[in-house]
Structures are given as C-alpha cells and as structure tokens.
Structure 1
C-alpha cells in the first residue's frame, strides 16, 4: 500500500499555537484530517481547530511526558481520525531559560528533568506508539520531528533545550533505520529563529534587530515556512529524505 499524498490522518503534538498551529493548517489545507494536540491551552487549541480547512479534525489533550497519557493521546487521535494515524509530527516541547551561572541547583535539576521528559521522552513515546500502529496495520507512514538549530550551535541560556533537541535528531535517525523496512520514513527539521506569539516581545524589543541580523536575509522565518518543509517531509515523494535533519535557519548557522 502506498502512502497517499492527501486525505491522511495526521497527529500534530503541541498544536495549540505557534509552529504547531501552522503545521496543522498546512496539513488541513493539503486535504488531510488533523488531530490537534494540546497540553494546557484549550482555548488556543480550539481556535486552531476552528481555523482549519476541511472537516474531520479533532482535538486531543494531555501531557506527552506521561507514558499512560501519551498512549491515550494516540488512541484518541486514531479513534477521531477514522482508526489510524498516517503521519506524526512531534512538535510538543518546552523551552525555559536556565543559564548555568545564574540558575540555582534545585531549579537546574527540575528544569533539566522537565525538558528531557517532554522534549525527548514525549517524542519517543508518541513515535513508538504511532509506529506500532502503522506496523500492525501494515501501512506506510511518516514521522517528522521538530528539532532545533540550537542542537548544533549551542543554547547558552537554554542548554537543556539544545541538548534534548540534539537527542531528538539522533532519535529520529535511529528510528529512520529501524522503521524503514516497514515503510515508515522518519526525518527532522532544525529551525532557527522564527516568529511566534511567544517570542514576539523579543522581536519587538531591543534585541529584535540583533536576532534578525543572525541571518544574512535580515529577518526571521515565518512559521509557515517551517510548516511547508514539514509537509514535504511527510509526503510520499520524501521517502528518500528519511534520516535527514533539515536545516531551516536562513543561513544563520552553517554545519560542516
């Protein structure tokens, strides 16, 4: 069975706003049915759902870092989308500041545990659950992970974020090799700075010019630009991109 180019069932974690919302909208505009996952922002998730093209979309909620709740998220998404999940986009993440020199040890420990549990373990849980459904059904599929430029260039004020995103990239590559015999392609994107509601005060404030100057284009990305790449990586044509980590940073950081 070949993966269709549209009409698929897609689970997007962390889709209440920002990049997750843009990804959900991209898939809906492509003719896919989307499960919009959220952790705590119910009103914003409902707004995302209401803005999607087409019909058949659903809301699912829960903490992806809780193994039992992660299983219910996938079960509820599949049930609401006709019994299957063809595409998983792992977008749910936390990114809380904790500069090493200024963060008390107890807070440092708590924040590291939270970043690992959500960014890495949540991604691992959902990926295993969705891949298992695809394997059992004998259907091909796609998993796309949202990583970060920070995995390569470092995040001095957010080291746990950078470290967990590097781990997400490595996880995706391991899964790409392991799941290819089952027709499941796995890839990651590594965005640089992009505009969302969360970072709007930074872009509008004193550091905005310096942030935009990180790229020779003199701007930051729009979430829709990242979402377009995610949509392509989830397409039938992108199977040969399995295992890749796609840089999306406007030439602000070049890997060698």
Structure 2
C-alpha cells in the first residue's frame, strides 16, 4: 500500500542501525534516497548500493550535522543527486553509554550531546523547511528517554525531550503547507550503539523490562517511520509514535 515512487528522501545517520534500515525500507517502497553519514563511508556506500539494487537512485554523503554549513552541504548534495527533497528522516545522534550522575556530568559531554542531538536536529529541520515543497514529510527519531527521563543520562534525555517539543512546534508551523512533522520514539534497539549495554546478559535483563519481552530490531523502527512518510499519513502530524514494546508505560 505504501508507494513512494518519485519521492526523494534524506536519511541522516544512514550508514548503520536504524538509519540503514530506514534507507532500505524507503527504497523498497520506491523512494530515492541520500544516505547521510559522518565518517563511515564504506558502510554508507554499501547501504546506498543496497537501495540501488531495488531500482531507485541512491547516493551517500558525508556531513557534520552539528554545523550549519555541514547541513547545507548535505541538502545541496540531495538537490544535486536527487533533484530535490520531499522526505527528511532525522536519525543521526549520540547516546553516551557511560552512566554519569548530574553532579559529575561535565561540560564537554553536555555540550557534545546538545550539538549532536539538538543543534543537528534544528539545522536539518530548518534546511528542510527551506527547500522542501508542499506535502513533504519530516520524521525525527526521538526516544522513550525524552518522555520519561533517564537517570544517569540526563543529557541524552534532555536532548530527546527538546526534540519532542520541537516536533510539536514545527508541525503547527508547517501544517498549512501540507508538510507533516512527526517523531518515532524507540526504546531499546539492537544496534551497534547499544552493544555494550546488551553484552554479558544485558539483553536478557533489558528484555525482561519490556512488556512484549523482546528488544526491538532496526527493522521494527523502520516500518513505522516509512508509514509516516506515506501519502496516506497526510493527516497525522505533531505525533510521538512510541515503538518500544510498551516500555514507556512502565516505571
């Protein structure tokens, strides 16, 4: 039912994990895709090749999304390679894995988390709003942490909480143009980013806290992202779609 042929998407953080799964899912629905990445060029190229294998246009582009110029360069490449932008999936971000209480949370970690998760979100959304035509789609990857907090990761939770408020604000601004703005909020996902937490029995302990009893795969997150990009989702905007096995409902 989801036909995205003729639609042009930018996916940030597309070289691995959730971003790579989103690229492949968008391509499977017919969208052309620009795979944004920071440093993992070979991985990004491989993801783009996977997308091209199903008959769509796909390229990769390195960019530092924490800077205005980096984001401008990414979108310029999208216009050059794809002819424009209809969809933005803002997936790039960091999750500092070390547990740190607020009294020991140093300026460097706080500022890095805000640069990578908040500044990049703002720059990407602003550029998308400038270049995207009417009827576009913006989907941002937030987190359960942005809704209920996360002890010892207050920087990360604050950054994702900011994203949630930003999504709701932007949805109202862009609604008259038919551009929808939504967020998908995963809980634990089996990716390279969470590998340390999953090790040494961590996966089993985490799964036991999730009502459905399992940790999500990247494909579990990609599916609702693509649904929000579909033409049929034109009346869904400003929403935070929880894709976390019910864990956000638990204490």
**TM over 0.5, yes or no?**
yes
Name whichever of 92-101 and 206-215 sits farther off. 92-101
- Structure 1 residues 126, 234: closer, same or farther in 2, change over 3 A? same
Superposition map of 1:132-171 within 5 A = 132-134=130-132, 138-171=133-166
- Are 1:227 and 2:189 counterparts? no
Question: Residue 51 of structure 1: SS of its match in structure 2?
Answer: helix
1:124 paired with 2:154, answer no
**5+ unaligned residues in a row in structure 1: which ranges?**
none
Using the TM superposition, give the Cα deviation of residue 201 of structure 1 relative to its aligned residue in structure 2, in angstroms: 4.2
Structure 1 runs (4+) greater than 4 angstroms displaced: 102-105
Give the equivalent residue in structure 2 for 1:208: 203
Q: Which residue of 2 aligns with 1:63?
A: 64
Q: Displacement of 1:123 after TM fit?
A: 0.9
CA–CA separation in structure 1 for the residues paired with 2:13 and 2:39: 10
Distance 1:85 1:103 in 2: 43
Q: TM-score, normalised to structure 2's length?
A: 0.93
Q: CA deviation at 1:213?
A: 0.8
Hey, what does 1:190 align to over in structure 2? Answer: 185
Q: Secondary structure at the match of 2:249?
A: coil
Contact persistence 1:98–1:111 (CA under 8 A): no
Cα distance in structure 1, aligned partners of 2:245 and 2:115: 30
For residues 181 and 42 of structure 1, do their structure 2 counterparts lie closer, same or farther at Cα, with a shift above 3 Å needed? same
Given the alignment of the two structures, is residue 95 of structure 1 paired with residue 95 of structure 2, yes or no? yes
Kindly tell me: are residues 222 and 101 of structure 1, through their superposed partners in 2, closer, same or farther at Cα, counting changes over 3 Å? closer
Q: 2:12 maps to which residue?
A: 13
Partner secondary structure for residue 240 of structure 1: coil
* 1:47 equivalent in structure 2: 46
In the alignment, which residue of structure 2 is the partner of 1:73? 74
Cα–Cα, structure 1 residues 210 and 232, in superposed 2: closer, same or farther, change >3 Å?
Answer: same
Aligned position for 2:24: 25
- Normalising by structure 1, report the TM-score: 0.91
How far apart are residue 103 of structure 1 and its match? 7.3
1:98 Cα deviation from its structure 2 partner: 5.0
Figure out how many residues of one structure are paired with residues of the other and give that number.
247
- When structure 1 is superposed on structure 2, of 33-42 and 192-201 the one drifting more is 192-201
> Partners in 2 of 1:45 and 1:19 — Cα distance?
13
Is 2:241 aligned against 1:246?
Answer: yes
